[in-house]
Amino acid sequence: MVGRTRTPGGRGDDEPALGPTRVRDLLAIAAVTGVLLWVVARYYYGGFPSLPWPASLILYLLAGLEVMIAFLVRSRVANRKVGPGEGQLHPINVARSAALAKASAVLGAIALGGWSGLLVFLLSRRYLDVAVADLPAAVVGAVGGLLLAAAALWLEYCCRAPDDPDPEITDTSPNPA
């Protein structure tokens, strides 16, 4: 094809490629969400119900689960126990874990941004008793969002294929010659 460049992997520039989640993208999501929630709180905080701090504990639970999955995937990938065989981690499950990690990273960024925007609003209103009462929930939520995003990025990292194949494993790919 004329005018179409190819990347080293053989894909064209206009073909989508799934790559690792970029921290800058997550920071942009968090910043936009934070500003939006700060604006909403500025105009409608009086109509908010009180913020219970246990509401954000699900973020900690998800982060913990993703760390556990990351340890499992990391050990199986390191020991070369990924495959369709008995006692191995199926490759589709690694792909599902990577998809879970990408979605959780975005969720963590949204939670971090939203709770942080609310936290900034509450800190500027410390003279209100209700704002002081809502501060712990905002802190717990912001930290939970940060932990979830970090756990998700680590899980995604653990799902990567090893860069250097084992030289003792023979090549079983068909030879075109």
pLDDT digits (tens, 9 = 90+) for 148-172: 999 999 999 998 877 645 555 555 5
pLDDT in tens, 81-105: 888 888 888 888 888 999 999 999 9
Any idea what the Cα angle at residue 92 is, between residues 100 and 103, rounded to 5°? 10
Per-residue CA distances from 144 to 1, 72, 114, 174, 176 (Å):
49, 22, 11, 48, 52
Percentage of the residues of the chain whose pLDDT score is greater than 70: 82
Q: How far apart are CA 141 and CA 111, in angstroms?
A: 7
**Dist CA 127 CA 26 (whole Å):** 32
The residue to which tokens 């369709």 are assigned = 84
Torsion 104-109-114-115 (CA) sign: positive
Q: Round to whole Å and give the CA distance between 100 and 156.
A: 8
Backbone angles phi, psi at 6, to 5 degrees: -115, 145
Pairwise CA distance, residues 131 & 109, whole Å:
23
The domain limits of the chain are 23-158
Q: What is the pTM of this model?
A: 0.80
Side-chain-side CA neighbours of 96 within 13 Å: the count stands at 6
pLDDT, position 79 = 83
Residue among 117, 107, 7 nearest 51 (CA): 117
